[in-house]
């Protein structure tokens, strides 16, 4: 596996291969959810590139950034074992040589004011900035992202349209533990007991109302809830709870860790 920290070196390597490129952007602390994206990329493209970059511009909460798990050596080992061809793990100054004060902004419309956009101001602008920069560096044929971050996929699709990009966005299903907990790097901050309490999210998808879902989360140790929402899976516009086809999304705090998840009912 080739390893790069400089954009210029990554680019000269990728251009020399002349192969179709699949790209998987991550923030590291890799788990089976990330590796499923690498697997999908390997099936669809000749060369798979993964990036590991904890992007400061997408954290609206500084303590979330400070506590974000960093496990670079273990990540590199997992990527090697997964058969990833190249990994890019730039420094903050490599990604933002002119600092982060004056960055490009994207007209994301209502996507930025609902759900995650509402509770994490600036988050999606930061996501767009970094994905746009990474795409310029990697110039992939296909981009692989997880439905665990459902709204992020819609935002990145919008960014691709705004930038007239020809990159194809491939959506991959959420990978869960055997019990149903959506895998997430932030789960590393949960105790074993909290991981069991967190299953209230997965079980809650089967409850028939928003208030029953919220009540169950609170009874299972969640300290606060940003939202439980029911939307149309295509437009992300709110609709009556449980009326199919729909997507139920949740964001809630357990032990100070913000967990998100979603499930589609077709």
Q: Give residues in contact with ligand AMP (CB under 6 A).
A: 26-27, 33-34, 36-37, 145-146, 148-149, 172, 174-175, 182-185
Q: Cβ 110 to ligand AMP, closest distance in Å?
A: 21
Of residues 117 and 146, the one with the C-beta less far from ligand AMP = 146
Complex with ligand AMP: residue 133 or 183, whichever CB lies closer: 183
Annotated catalytic, 34?
yes
> Shortest distance, CB of residue 180 to ligand AMP, whole angstroms?
11
CB 147 within 8 A of CB 104: no
User: Given the complex with ligand AMP, which of 111 and 172 has the nearer CB atom?
Assistant: 172
Task: Output b/e per residue, 123-136; b: 16+ Cβ within 10 A.
Answer: bbbbbbbbbbbbbe
Nearer to ligand AMP by Cβ, of 171 and 203: the residue is 171
* Crossing angle for the helix pair 123-138 and 150-162, to the nearest 10 degrees: 60
Instruction: Please identify the residue of the shown chain whose CB is closest to the bound ligand AMP.
Output: 146
Q: How far is the CB of 216 from ligand AMP (least distance, A)?
A: 21
Contact of 131 with 108, CB cutoff 8 Å: no
CB of 23 to ligand AMP, least distance (A): 11
- Among residues 4, 7, 34, 88, the one annotated as catalytic is 34
Distance CA 232, CA 248 (A): 9
Contact 169, 160 (CB under 8 A): yes
Beta strand pairing call for 86-88 and 168-172: unpaired
Active site residues: 34
């Amino acid at each position: 596996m080739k390893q790069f920290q400089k954009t210029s070196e990554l680019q000269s390597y990728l251009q020399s291969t002349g192969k179709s490129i699949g790209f998987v952007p991550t923030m590291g602390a890799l788990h089976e959810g990330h590796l499923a994206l690498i697997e999908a990329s390997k099936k669809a493209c000749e060369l798979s590139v993964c990036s590991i970059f904890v992007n400061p511009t997408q954290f609206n909460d500084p303590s979330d950034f400070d506590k974000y798990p960093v496990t670079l050596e273990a990540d590199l080992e997992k990527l090697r074992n997964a058969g990833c061809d190249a990994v890019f793990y730039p420094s903050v100054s490599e990604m933002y040589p002119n600092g982060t004060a004056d960055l490009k902004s994207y007209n994301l419309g209502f996507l930025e004011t609902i759900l995650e956009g509402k509770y994490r101001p600036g988050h999606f602008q930061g996501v767009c900035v970094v994905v746009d920069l990474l795409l310029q560096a990697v110039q992939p044929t296909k981009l692989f992202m997880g439905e665990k971050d459902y709204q992020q996929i819609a935002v990145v699709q919008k960014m691709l349209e705004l930038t007239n990009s020809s990159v194809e966005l491939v959506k991959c299903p959420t990978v869960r533990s055997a019990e149903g907990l959506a895998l997430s790097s932030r789960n590393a901050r949960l105790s074993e007991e909290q991981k069991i309490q967190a299953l209230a999210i997965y079980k809650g998808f089967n409850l028939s109302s928003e208030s029953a879902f919220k009540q169950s989360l609170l009874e299972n140790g969640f300290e606060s809830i940003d939202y439980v929402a029911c939307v149309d899976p295509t437009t992300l516009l709110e609709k009556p709870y449980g009326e199919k086809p729909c997507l139920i999304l949740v964001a809630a705090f357990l032990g100070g860790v913000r967990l998100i998840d979603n499930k589609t009912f077709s």
